[in-house]
Amino acid sequence: MVRTKDETCPVSIDEIKEWNYIEDHAFDNKLRLCLESAISAVESYINQVIWPSAYVFESPVPLRALEIPVYPVSSIQVSVGGADLPADRYAWDGHVLRIDGPLGEGQMLVTVQAGNKTLDQDIKSAILLIASELFRNPTDSVKTLPTTSKLLLDPHRNANI
């Protein structure tokens, strides 16, 4: 599986700068890294894709079923041997992609768009809290997510993945 993130981060550098009362650009690169790491930590904790992304699943031979381990999914495209399958040939039940009818031969590519275009404010706040903690405390002394972040994220955890 290969992941390609959308160009625009769901939380901006300006938002984390405002959150931390930073007015210049001296720390922009460090803040960007902290934001990306915080988003990754949140995605792992709640088992959801926060940063909208395309995932490509490859198989050297066509499959009748494929488990899709990302959530939430906004679209799926399937091709076999370089030819796109019409959408009525496959169904997705929220976890498994199932393909009907003849498949032909060749490599199978499944492209999945996942993630939300907008974030709930509590998820965004948790990301900003975690990124700020990483920014202020760059050593590895933090063993878990900050308590407030967990409280904000717990209602969004997806136990199905």
| Domain boundary assignment for the chain | 2-50+118-156, 53-114
Cα Rg for the chain, rounded, in angstroms?
19
Q: In what order do the strands lie in the sheet with 2-5?
A: 2-5, 53-59, 108-114, 73-80, 83-84
pLDDT in the model for residue 140: 64
Tokens at 141, concatenated: 């002394």
pLDDT in the model for residue 64: 92
Predicted TM-score of the model (pTM): 0.84
pLDDT in the model for residue 161: 47
Question: Cα angle at 111 between 61 and 9, to 5 degrees?
Answer: 150
pLDDT tens string, the chain, 161 residues long: the values are 899 999 889 999 999 999 999 999 999 999 999 999 999 999 999 999 999 999 999 999 989 999 999 999 999 999 999 999 999 999 999 889 999 888 888 999 999 999 988 899 999 999 999 999 999 887 765 567 778 888 899 998 876 54
pLDDT in the model for residue 135: 92
The answer to whether the CB of 6 falls within 8 A of the CB of 51 is yes
Torsion angle of C-alpha atoms 125, 127, 130, 131, degrees rounded to 10: -110
